[in-house]
Amino acid sequence: MDYFPIFMKLRGEPCLVVGGGEVALRKVRLLRSAEAAVTVVAPELVAELRAMAGAGEIRHVDGRFSGEQLAGMRLVVAATDDRRVNLAVAEAGRVQGIPVNVVDDPDISSYITPAIVDRSPLVIALSTGGGVPVLARLLRARLESLIPAGFGRLAGFAARFRDRVKARFGDVEARRIFWESVLEGPVADAVMLGNDEAACAEMEKRLASADDKPTGAVYLVGAGPGNPDLLTFRALRLMQQADVVLYDKLVAPELLELVRRDAERIYVGKARANHALPQEDINQLMVRLAQEGRRVVRLKGGDPFTFGRGGEEIETLAAHGIPFEVVPGITSASGAAAYAGIPLTHRDYAQSVVFVTGHRKDDSIDLDWPALTRPEQTVVVYMGVSTARELCDAFIAHGKPAETPAAVVEWATTARQRTVTGTLASLPEVIARHGVQSPALIIIGEVVKLAETLSWYRRIESEPVTIRN
């Protein structure tokens, strides 16, 4: 971060604004909204500032800036149209160790003022590091429309019960879980509707009946193909509520940044013949963590029920009586095809699509070859990079033409995405030559030849493809 975000309590604290124009007026209003004791230094004031000074709302020093005026100030704003004066204010603040903001000049400021969404006591601050304040204001406008004024009432309501909840729940995790259930349930609904009496009654009921021991649960969450923008709202919400997150190699690092910061993260990555934790150990780990009362998110690339071993995991959870939920995600095949510009079905080329794994539990490739080699069909192979030669040879041996177009999509939907095309005959060499590694998907079928025309996200690295007439 270029700037460390912080909220300062300025009620009754002395703050200085240098300048008496419209820009200075905006800063004075902001400081006054925080109940700061504001002094304005300027030879002239706009009408509203004069009125404030006349009413005793601010103190006016009639004259030009000098460094001595910073003595005892907690915060300073330079809002003149003379950069020499602004530089002098910034330098005086640096020498005296007082934060100074020079309006629209982040290079000489020691702090910047963010765009603010005020739902007091809930306050949201947005910043672009002073580089593009218009963008911050645009985002603020969006948040203003998304966050009703009632959230301010909800924050105030919760604050009234803070000490009682803390006394009721000695365990920090139990306290957090209780608050999350309150802030998303009937209590919050009543507060948002302005029915304080009903909210208080429901809160009292919750406090009287709450169990100190939290109830654990496991959530199998589909993380999608890699791009954080492709997460579902439900997935994001659970990731930000989890106590523990189990993740593997297929979960992009950018996705982990969305997990609650104080959640425990456990890597349980699996690659062919190289498991950080065997599947059975992962299953038992989820059971143990849930039995400890923790909320566990099992974060899976793509969709939990599409070659994600989700079925095996929830069988174990069900056998131990652990509450669970499955949150679907965009499966990797859909994401890779869409971002590579390869339609999985097309009226002219493919009337069906088949998803298949590149190797079975015993690492064999003894697949249903008659079904996989049908004409006018697209085949998507998961986990097939390491067995690409055996797979392509088997496709050809079972009647699929060697010149059938084929593609491999690596790190689909992310900034690292690469798509390389070839044929069934050339694909193994293509994968080796380009150094393609997992996570990657193989797509086989006539639809692949559309990639050159329809690709919109990343360029296609094409190998010679012979197209059948």
135 vs 137: CA distance, rounded Å = 5
- 428 known member of a binding site: no
DSSP state for residue 106 in the 8-state scheme: G
Reported as half-sphere exposure (CB side, CA atoms, 13 A), residue 110 has a value of: 17
Among the listed residues 27, 243, 248, 300, the single catalytic one is 248
Length of the chain counted residue by residue: 469
Q: Are 420 and 459 in contact (CB under 8 A)?
A: no
Check if the beta carbon of residue 20 is closer than 8 Å to that of residue 45: yes
Cα separation of 224 and 235, whole Å? 10
Helix pair 196-209, 172-183: axis angle to 10 deg: 150
- Is 159 annotated as ligand-binding? no
Q: Alpha carbon of 442 to those of 55, 85, 361, 437, 457: distances in Å? A: 74, 64, 19, 11, 18
Among 189, 249, 270, 393, the active-site one is 270
Tokens 């590579």 — which residue? 340
Q: Is 118 annotated as a binding residue?
A: no
Token duo for residue 113: 């003022």
At residue 227, the 3 state secondary structure works out as: coil
Q: 325 a known binding residue?
A: no
Which strand (E) or helix (H) includes residue 295?
strand 295-300
Q: How far apart are the first and last CA of the chain?
A: 57
Annotated binding residue 52: no
CA-CA-CA-CA torsion for 88, 7, 189, 139, nearest 10 degrees?
Answer: 40
Which one, of 358, 301, 294, lies nearest residue 328 by Cα?
Answer: 301
DSSP label at residue 16: E
- Tokens, residue 297: 């998110």
Rounded CA gap, 317 and 159, in Å? 37
CA distance 79 to 102: 6
Ligand-binding annotation for 375, yes or no, is: no
262 is catalytic: no
> Is 400 one of the catalytic residues?
no
Is 61 annotated as contributing to ligand binding?
no
Q: Interhelix angle for 427-434 vs 388-397, to 10°?
A: 170
Q: Is 125 annotated as a binding residue?
A: no
Query: Is 302 labelled as part of a ligand binding site?
Result: yes
**Sheet with strand 264-267: strands edge to edge:** 264-267, 244-247, 295-300, 217-222, 324-327
43 is in an annotated binding site: yes
Please enumerate, by residue number, every residue annotated as part of a binding site for NAD(+). 22-23, 43-44
Active site residues: 248, 270
Please enumerate, by residue number, every residue annotated as part of a binding site. 22-23, 43-44, 225, 301-303, 383, 412
Please enumerate, by residue number, every residue annotated as part of a binding site for S-adenosyl-L-methionine. 225, 301-303, 383, 412
